[in-house]
Structure 1
């Protein structure tokens, strides 16, 4: 994926609309007890500034053999979703998945499965700690996940 297709490292801030945050939480909860996964998107023009904005989530079917403990994007849905994002003049700002029975921290499987060279944010939604999901954002830097601060915004 080239830099025009993903959130690039030039961004110092990341924002998620309250609507997108709600979508993310509800979608991950609806997948319980399995891991839900997908793509976070925002307007293409938002990438030209210093802040990326997530305005929508794009669910992608989890085809893992063990969906209660891992996720694998359905390749056909991934391609269809990617082209739909581009057609609608959106950009990929991040990838997400849920941890139905774990914390919102990256697991060893997350580290091993993260695509090499992909410059995007990585969001994990924990469904096990309370009635409302715990959501954390990360960036993969020099072989490990670094936590990111994000801000919920209203538009």
Structure 2
């Protein structure tokens, strides 16, 4: 029997209780290298995508990711087709993976979430945002962030590369 994957099931899998929100994002070196390569290739445009894996003891282990098209085709903002995002989350869920969050690049920017990022983060508390800031002259700076609930500010998530 095919599992039902609707907007409500997608959002209910994202919005976690405060006690369940991961404080650490664990990323394989090979995955990080792949993401960096994509960021460099697409520079100066922002790239974006979905992170999925397992959440165990407040640690989110990224097992897979999927690039989503930045429909804004911008170097300062990103957005994606929400239907594609939902299909991707459902696809991961059918594989037994949990939705961890989003990743995107900040070409020639910093790893701090922009105002637009923060607004979107507030729509899905508990969703981890991995930001890869990149400049050909400065290289990469990488950081992960989360908003735990609708009234909190964003906070840094520990990033562990294995």
What's the TM-score once normalised by structure 2's chain length?
0.79
Q: Which residue of 2 aligns with 1:68?
A: 75
Q: Which residue of 2 aligns with 1:17?
A: 28
After TM superposition, the structure 1 stretch with the greater mean CA deviation from structure 2, 130-139 or 144-153, is 130-139
| Structure 2: stretches of 5+ with no match in the other structure | 1-10
After TM superposition, the structure 1 stretch with the greater mean CA deviation from structure 2, 95-104 or 78-87, is 78-87
RMSD: 2.2
For the 8 Å contact 1:126–1:133, the answer to whether it is kept is yes
| Structure 1: stretches of 5+ with no match in the other structure | none
For the 8 Å contact 1:41–1:92, the answer to whether it is kept is yes
Q: In the alignment, is residue 147 of structure 1 matched against residue 147 of structure 2?
A: no
Q: What SS does the corresponding residue of 1:110 show, helix, strand or coil?
A: helix
Q: In the alignment, is residue 85 of structure 1 matched against residue 76 of structure 2?
A: no
Q: Which residue of 2 aligns with 1:111?
A: 118
What's the TM-score once normalised by structure 1's chain length?
0.82
Q: In the alignment, is residue 57 of structure 1 matched against residue 65 of structure 2?
A: yes
1:74-126 deviation digits (Å, cap 9, x = unpaired): 22321321221112111111211111121111112212233424311111111
Output the CA distance in 2 between the equivalents of 1:35 and 1:12: 26
Q: In the alignment, is residue 36 of structure 1 matched against residue 43 of structure 2?
A: no
For the 8 Å contact 1:19–1:55, the answer to whether it is kept is no
Quote how far apart the aligned CAs of 1:33 are: 1.0
Inter-CA distance 8–126: structure 2 relative to 1 (3 Å threshold): farther
After TM superposition, the structure 1 stretch with the greater mean CA deviation from structure 2, 97-106 or 110-119, is 110-119
Q: Which residue of 1 aligns with 2:7?
A: none
Inter-CA distance 124–7: structure 2 relative to 1 (3 Å threshold): farther
Q: What SS does the corresponding residue of 2:139 show, helix, strand or coil?
A: coil
For the 8 Å contact 2:46–2:107, the answer to whether it is kept is yes
